[in-house]
Amino acid sequence: MGLFTGKKGIIMGVVNEFSIAAGIAKTLHAEGATLGLSHLPDKDGRDRMAKRVQRVSDPLDVTFIKPCDVTLDGDIQRFFEEVKEHFGSIDFLVHSIAFAPLDDIRCPTLEATREGFKVAMDISVYSFIAVAREASKLMAPGSSIVTLSYFGGEKVIGGYNLMGVCKSALEMSTRYLAHDLGPRHIRVNAVSSGPIRTMAASAVGDFSDMLGLNAAVAPMGRNVSSEEVGKAAAYLLSDLSSATTGEILHVDCGYHIMGSPGHAIKRLTENPASAH
């Protein structure tokens, strides 16, 4: 009997089998969860996103896979109406959605456009508020909501730029949602993952440097895996964290605790390849 046996929930933001959301889905499935997935709508009718997500869903016996455009309130409402029809109620929600126009994330924050800022904040932050509002209507006391963040929302990480501003807003949204949903005994938390090579990460400038720096500076001397993030998310989504809400849980091999390069100079001097 698994940690999530008899529990049902939705994971939003699975892009392909390499995404962090896929790692979470695999962990929850292994613990007995019944899952539903969302994906980006295909505008051209070719179902490319649906086919990518299917590579994740097939091994996990997922029977509910629907598109959802989180920039449209009506589409979010439609999606969760379908969730209600299929599942009745849900026990958890994972929000793993972020986006900024490429030009706006790769330029210095100083040069980000007004429109790019609005798009990035809408999709990366407001979507969390919007989906939490609809999902919580289907949740009983004891349910849990988790979103995905990164340390670039707390401290400046070169190359993360506008997305760091978004993650900062996302983390504060997590705390305010935890306050709002606390009286209903629905918990809201975030996992702040170390850098992982995903499709979304490829948009970030100097990402290879971020991986190397994280591994060199982190006390554990390595980077985190999507499976490890999945385990942390499972903790926050499960009854094991029944008194934890409004928390930003760092899963980054300890990188966030460092105020100096630590072991980095020695590691990079003795074996430069070990940082990657």
What is the pLDDT at residue 261? 84
Active site residue 160: yes
Q: Of the residues 126, 160, 235, 255, which is catalytic?
A: 160
- In this prediction, the residues of the chain whose per-residue pLDDT falls under 50 are 201, 275
What is the pLDDT at residue 200? 56
User: Measured between alpha carbons, how far is residue 153 from residues 21, 64, 167, 217 in Å?
Assistant: 19, 32, 5, 18
What is the pLDDT at residue 52? 85
Q: What would the pLDDT profile of 207-229 be if each residue is shown by its tens digit? A: 667 788 888 999 999 999 999 99
Q: What would the pLDDT profile of 151-177 be if each residue is shown by its tens digit? A: 999 999 988 999 999 999 999 999 999
What is the pLDDT at residue 49? 80
Quick one: which of 224, 226, 161, 230 has its CA closest to 199?
Answer: 226
Contact 164, 205 (CB under 8 A): no
What is the pLDDT at residue 42? 80
What is the pLDDT at residue 63? 87
What is the pLDDT at residue 177? 99
CB neighbourhood size of 99 (10 A): 19
pTM strictly above 0.85: yes
Residue with tokens 């589409």: 75
Domains and CATH numbers, the chain: 8-204+224-259 (3.40.50.720)
Q: Of the residues 126, 150, 235, 255, which is catalytic?
A: 150
Separation CA 117–CA 96 (nearest Å): 19
Read off the tokens for 110.
């100083």
Computed on alpha carbons and rounded to an integer, the radius of gyration of the chain in Å comes to 18
For residue 147, the cross-strand partners are 95, 190
